[in-house]
Each structure stands twice: as structure tokens, then as C-alpha cells.
Amino acid sequence: MGFWIAAFVGDDAYENFETTKDTGKFFVPSTRTPVKRIRPGDEVLLYLAGEGFAARAEVASGAFTPSGETRWSSNKPPLFGVALRDVRIFPQPVTYKFPKNGVNPALGLHRYSFAGLSEDGFRDVLRRVEFDDAGMKGKQEAGLPRSVSRLVQKQEKLPETVTQPAVKPVGTRPLEKRLAGQYASREGRKRAALWTVAEMGASAFGLRSVEHFARGKAGEAERTWTAGGKAEQDVGAALDGICEHGYYLFHDVKLPDFGNVDHVALGPGGFFAIETKSHRGRVEARGRELLLNGRPPVKDFVAQAWSGCYRLKEILGSDVTPLLCFSEAFVEGRVFVRGVRALPLGWLKGEILRSEQSREAREVATAVNALGAATGCYPSAVPRASRKVT
């Protein structure tokens, strides 16, 4: 018997999850998957990105090629399908971090839709489902989100009643206050230094072509990362104004098992993840594509923004709104692509303050604690009284 994870990722994750519940079929749009090895009788965990493990099922068929009309949404047409039976929805989605030793598919769950799993990992998740269903109700009744309740259970250092954000680290490591653009500036200096060393080595050995290549790479690293760091600093300065409206700001947030999110804003109008781009030119939307100077950018900025939101949602146990801020480019009107709002620097503060969401002070404080516990970061800026001129 085999054990697997079927992951629902991307903009259409919820829609495809509902399709699988309705039809009992799960589709894979990529050849980079072990789905051909699946056999009837194998066990599957259904993973919903941004939520966690949401259901379990049994495999009813081997992989087959879809034919005819297929209810499935993705950028690429489905290449393989698997029939599932006995789909059992969990009472609540369960977040679970696999141990780093042995098979650890967690790092790929936001990129690929199918992964193998050890039996121990499969059973561990199911035990967590039973624990959540029975043991978490008391903590949920106390008002703590599920993600924070798990931190309480694991480390038993986060107060059960949170009225103000904690100022002590939840774990053993000290909390760090990070500055906007800190990572980009540091990374730029490091990469430029490494390529400069390579240039000097090539020069010493008379390798002219390598020397010129390394010199170009050093300059490129310095320009790219310096521009990125400057853009993040500008966005951080613009966001500073929302602290007068009850917001906490985190800059340069390193998320566990994911990567870096430039800015996170948590406040009474909602929770926001802001990705900063220093590119110049014209930004516009064409259908489901974001275009920079009339062409899709080399990296999928929209997917990048959503990926950070998925990981933040797992940590905070609450929805997070993605924003894509261009510090230098001209943004053509109200650009909204695949659920992500792209906007110029001058509109960022107003966009957040116009939010129609509503968060209680306790909910905001709990989210600040949860993010600090997961990342080891203090808020870079905290709410303060409005500076009124009389």
C-alpha cells in the first residue's frame, strides 16, 4: 500500500477541492509527479494550500488520461486523473509540519499537486486530526485561533488570554526587529562581494573572459538588489502612516519553510501581505495575466504574492490579502489579476485604509503573537496616536 498527498494549489484551489468532493476525481496538470505509481487501495491525504490537510480518501483507480469534458481549473490542461472513493472531510483543516528526516514533501506542496508520503507521516497527520477534534475545542472556546492554540500546546508559553501582543519570545530564540529592505541590501552586498572575489581570482590567473563575466555579475547584483532594497525602504516609509490607524508592521519577514515576504500589515482593517517590485515601465492587466511593458514578467509576480499569503494564512489561522506594490512603475488604472491587487506606491496606504474588513483588537493581537512566534520577529512598527497639527 502507498501513501500520498494530493495538493490543491494556486488560484483555483478551492474550486478544484470542491470538484474532487463532488466527483471523486483528482487531476494533475504536470508530468513532474509520481502519480503513475499510484495503485487502487492506496491512501491519500487531501491538502488545501493556505488551509492545511482537509480530508482523506482511498484510491479507486490507477492514473488515467482525462478524456472529454473535465471539471478542473488550471493554467495547464490536466494530464492525469485519479479516481478516489470514501472521501472523508476533516472537522477542521489541520496544519502539520513534517519532520525533516525521511520523506518530507512539505516544501513542494505549494508548487506541485502530488507527492509521496511515508506511512508514519500519514498516521501522524491522522493522529493530529483526532487531537484537534477532541483536544482543541477548549482552547477554541477560549477565543484563540487554531494556529495560536497549536503554539500553546507545543510550547506552553503563549498566554491563553491575549489582550496585547507579547513582548517576550515564545520559543528560546530572541525576537528580532527587522528593517524594510534589510534582506535585499544585505544579499546584494554579499553577492557583489562574491563575484568581485571571483573577478580578482580570474584576473590573477589571466582568465579574461571569466573576469569580464564576474565583473558584469557583480555590477548586476549590486544594481538589482540595491534597487530592490531601496524600493522596500520606500514602501516601508509609506506604510508607516497606517500605524496611526491601529496597524502593526513587520518588514522583511522570513517565513518557515517558505521564503521572504517584504511587508506584513496586521490591523483593524485586515491582514495584508505586500510584495514590493522596483521595476520601471508600465503595468497593466490582460485577462489573467499581469503585463510589464506589454509582456509577462520573467517571474510570475501574482503567484509569488499568493504563495506568501498561503503560508501566512497557515501561521495566522486567518485570511490574508495579497498586494503587489510597484515603487517606480506606472500602474494602468485599477489592476486586479487573479485575486491580487497591483498598485503604485502612492496608492498603497489608501488601499489598506479603505479595506472593508473588520478585525477585533484581540484578533489583531493574537495574530501579532502568532507571527512573532513563527518567525522570531518583533513588529517593526506598532500603533501610535495620530500626529495632528493644531
- 226 domain residue, yes or no: yes
88 and 214 assigned to the same domain? no
Residue 299: phi, psi to the nearest 5? -100, 150
106 and 217 assigned to the same domain? no
Residue 178: phi, psi to the nearest 5? -100, 150
SS3 265: strand
SS3 295: strand
Cβ atoms of 373 and 238 within 8 Å: the answer is no
Nearest to 317 by CA among 266, 376, 356, 268: 266
CB neighbourhood size of 52 (10 A): 22
Domain extent for 103: 3-132
C-alpha cell at 27: 487531476
Number of structural domains the chain divides into: 2
C-alpha cell at 286: 490582460
pLDDT tens, 249-307? 998 888 876 778 889 999 999 999 999 898 889 999 888 889 999 898 888 889 888 88
198 and 319 assigned to the same domain? yes
What pLDDT is stored for residue 84 in this prediction? 93
> Per-residue pLDDT for the chain (390 aa), expressed as one digit of tens each?
888 888 887 667 777 888 898 889 999 877 767 888 889 999 999 987 767 788 999 999 988 888 877 788 877 788 888 999 999 988 877 777 666 554 445 544 545 578 788 888 888 888 888 765 444 444 333 333 343 333 333 333 333 333 344 434 334 444 555 555 555 555 555 666 676 777 778 777 788 887 788 777 766 655 555 566 677 888 888 898 898 899 999 988 888 767 788 899 999 999 999 998 988 899 998 888 899 998 988 888 898 888 888 888 888 888 899 999 998 889 887 788 988 999 998 899 999 999 888 898 888 988 888 888 888 777 888 887 654 444
- 127 domain residue, yes or no: yes
> Of 70, 97, 132, which residue is a domain's last?
132
199 and 120 assigned to the same domain? no
Distance of CA 140 to the CA centre of its chain: 24
Cα of first residue to Cα of last residue in the chain, in angstroms, is 74
> Of 93, 116, 132, which residue is a domain's last?
132
pLDDT tens, 312-363? 888 888 889 999 999 888 988 778 898 899 999 889 999 999 988 889 888 8
What pLDDT is stored for residue 218 in this prediction? 67
CB neighbourhood size of 386 (10 A): 8
118 and 186 assigned to the same domain? no
Helical H segments across 84-162, by residue range = 119-135, 137-141, 146-155
Query: 119: domain CATH number?
Result: 3.10.590.10
